[in-house]
Structure 1
């Protein structure tokens, strides 16, 4: 079959980007011809992409070959409309949810993208998978004119950050939803969110009959158990050096000068501007030089995902010195990208210099952490240079690099404070044999529930106690900050009952169980075949 994926953004990073990339790769592996209509102008550099065409006029007249992926980038006048602001090289970026963009701009975006999709449909297409409630479904509806069936994969960000914030956008969601065949939700939480968001239009949409739960997945051929720390670490460093040399636009510590909180009127604005001075879509250029030599007897904690105030990454960072008090050999890796990168660097600098006022300012800039000034004082302490070197922030990585470093970790932390459509990083960690500690809310619940059915005691270790509240409602960051140290320490005792971190006996046993659960329930092959099945 010739299958088309419509996605308004990139094919690398996190969230829906990775979802679309993995569906495309899996359909390719299953022998289908795949076209991805998106805005990734660098997709030709991705190793799984076979053909790459930029510009609507350059779309070929014939379909791609079976078992291959073609990426088509339509003209959109360089205006990218997003749910949550981030920098995208070469684009003017506007959020849809806060009225930054006009309806004329939205209409132009839909029509321009539909023009590109229409040229693809002329090649002969069997099915279209669109992503998010807006705007890709409206694109497919206008381009297909009822001639080609399309389904919609719902991701949480368009519902939470656009439709809830700006109800006038509802007409674009209804345009797509009313004419699609299937509405795919990744979790029961997304099903519930769909029902709430479109309660008054459920009958018009046919929501009850169209919706189906198909979880996202991971590739067990990519995410593997560790060989050894030394072997994985060597492969990782070799891959990172090639990646950084290929894309030398990432952050370099020597070029960064943090603003002084005491003399800065808008610290958050200054920090986000500083984070925009280098390429967020490239790994830190100096990472190989900064990389610590991790040894077998050092338990590694990892956070991987977006550097946003919704994700709990600030709480992970601030809690780590308390963990070091109990486990001095521990290390923390923070892998990802986003506008709050320099907030973290400021927090680390203030802890190293012993400046508590600067520490509080960096923590509270842009509501990075939920904790009050008094609560933050309770977690502040001066860290030594050696302790500072136990914390490494890397910048973004591709799966080909993450898959080497992730299995080196004992524990991953998923501390999202905002509702999540699904816990993709939780599943990827499990498949790599890493014990994930996760908040229990929204789409994160489904994965923990699967684990609980297999091993309730294992789920209890993974489950972080949380309380609703904080700035984003789903989980109070102040509670997360207090819970993390004891949760991490207990989890490490579970993995290493003799407190000998070089003794991997128990950890290896748990790793194999975690991977087995992940592979059985969340493999991409099974999921992508389900996407093509008839609704009933």
Structure 2
């Protein structure tokens, strides 16, 4: 089968990028030929891409810039449309080759130019080789230019994968984006949802606006079970971290500093000495701290400082954004450290909330109660994408801080203790994450905003590590899939699900303390049992082979329907 996969972004970093990468690889493994459209040009490390072509400024002609032999029966050719310098995005991000602009802030004229550039590139390919199936990722803008490129070319099945970010951050907030979404959705033969939650969310919104006739399909995302795997029998965490450090060392380009040394010193001085009100006037500086996909230049020193064998390791990885709920892990730390002082929180990622998060850590470490309360009460003054009402989930701690005696005890535990217990690493791609995840005792994903799918939890399971995720939206189905792990020990049975309510911070700290207590009580026996059972859950439910097979089955069914309609006419 000839399959076109349309994705207007890179192939690494975010959930949808990784989704596209892994789906394409599995389709090639299964023997199908893939035409991949994206904006990634650093393709050396993708084992499934046989060749790649870059379009000229008119998107009419192309030149080959990458070629290599691949080990799979199916072959993938990658095509990079020329879209100019502006890249429409759902959430503000940094790209080396583009100026990323949120879709909600782009003019219709500029959006049409972007769509037309992509359409011309796709059209140039499709006129030579019409695909049997076209899989568009996100409900804007890929389905729009894919459908326009296929206009007049009959017989191609058009599927759209409804990832969550385009819906929540663009379509819900822009009439222009909504209209484009309707154009693409009305042309689709099938809509693929990663979870039943995302399907219900979609239907609740669109059923009141328009009748979408495309058949709806539920196909969960998968994980690279060959790339993500647990510690092997007899393998120590230190050995795995050594391999991680060797990988970092071999990728010298990763070691970029996202702030000049002088600016970095100014930042440290600012968050240490300024009041909350004074910091609110420096929002741009705070947001600039983590706004770049770079690993920290002192990452080796940070990794060596951690006692991987004897400390309790809590790991978060993903974007540094308010919506990811990272601040709620940080403010839960005093409660965790009080019972488990030998605990380290490792925060891997990038994003514009890093400056705010580091300021939060600093306020705790200095015992600055006034600054801490200001940071928690007015988060929107220091970062973007603070969703209304999400501050409610920190209410339990804010209530404690208003009680002088309770606040005194809380700050006593935090003062001089938190900063050394929190490690920011900067960005790590999945080639590095696969070696750090198995070295964690708990992977924590405390998102407070709707998520399409709980990929972090699935990757933790693949690595044999217990995940703790908030219980909502697309995370729910993943949490439900591993709830049997909590039956393995009495300490785990009492853990409350991390529902989005005012007790979230309390339940995060209690849950983590319960897990660490269980490990202390049962030792290596429980660790090995969870490692084995978690891995089995992932292999049985979330392999990319099962995902690709379901795509192919659905596509074949739609192809037969099209043929049937054609014969009837």
> Does the 8 Å CA contact 1:186/1:422 hold for their aligned counterparts?
yes
TM-score (norm 1): 0.88
Matched, 1:206 2:213: yes
1:138 match: secondary structure: helix
1:42 match: secondary structure: coil
Please give the residue correspondences for 1:387-406 in structure 2 after superposition, counting only pairs within 5 Å: 388-406=419-437
Please give the residue correspondences for 1:64-463 in structure 2 after superposition, counting only pairs within 5 Å: 67-97=74-104, 100-124=105-129, 125-145=131-151, 146-147=153-154, 148-200=156-208, 203=211, 205-207=212-214, 210-226=215-231, 227-243=235-251, 245-251=252-258, 254-255=261-262, 256=264, 257-258=266-267, 259-260=270-271, 261-262=274-275, 263-276=278-291, 280-291=292-303, 292-363=305-376, 364-366=378-380, 370=391, 371=394, 374-375=398-399, 377=401, 378=407, 379-381=410-412, 383=414, 388-452=419-483, 457=487
Deviation per CA, 1:323-380, whole angstroms, max 9, x where unpaired?
1111111111111111111112222233333333333444443376723684473454
Alpha-carbon distance between aligned partners in 2 of 1:463 and 1:251, rounded to the nearest angstrom: 39
2:521 match: secondary structure: coil
Which runs of 5 or more residues in structure 2 are unaligned?
402-406, 558-569
**Matched positions, count:** 514
Alpha-carbon distance between aligned partners in 2 of 1:199 and 1:186, rounded to the nearest angstrom: 19
User: What is the CA RMSD across the aligned residues, in angstroms?
Assistant: 2.8
Structure 1 pair 437/461, CA: closer, same or farther in 2 (3 Å)?
farther
Please give the residue correspondences for 1:16-95 in structure 2 after superposition, counting only pairs within 5 Å: 16-44=16-44, 46=46, 48-55=48-55, 56-57=59-60, 59=62, 67-95=74-102
Matched, 1:7 2:7: yes
1:122 match: secondary structure: helix
Deviation per CA, 1:30-53, whole angstroms, max 9, x where unpaired?
233323211224345555544333
Alpha-carbon distance between aligned partners in 2 of 1:321 and 1:49, rounded to the nearest angstrom: 47
Deviation per CA, 1:7-30, whole angstroms, max 9, x where unpaired?
121111122111111112222222
Deviation of the 1:382 alpha carbon:
6.4
Deviates more, 1:423-432 or 1:246-255: 246-255
> Does the 8 Å CA contact 1:131/1:153 hold for their aligned counterparts?
yes
> Does the 8 Å CA contact 2:244/2:435 hold for their aligned counterparts?
yes
Structure 1 pair 458/43, CA: closer, same or farther in 2 (3 Å)?
farther
Deviation per CA, 1:125-148, whole angstroms, max 9, x where unpaired?
232110111110011100111433
Deviates more, 1:63-72 or 1:259-268: 63-72
Matched, 1:513 2:516: no
Structure 1 pair 247/510, CA: closer, same or farther in 2 (3 Å)?
closer
Deviation of the 1:79 alpha carbon:
1.2
Structure 1 pair 479/25, CA: closer, same or farther in 2 (3 Å)?
same
Which runs of 5 or more residues in structure 1 are unaligned?
468-474
Alpha-carbon distance between aligned partners in 1 of 2:300 and 2:128, rounded to the nearest angstrom: 45
Deviation of the 1:167 alpha carbon:
3.1
Alpha-carbon distance between aligned partners in 2 of 1:240 and 1:85, rounded to the nearest angstrom: 26
TM-score (norm 2): 0.83
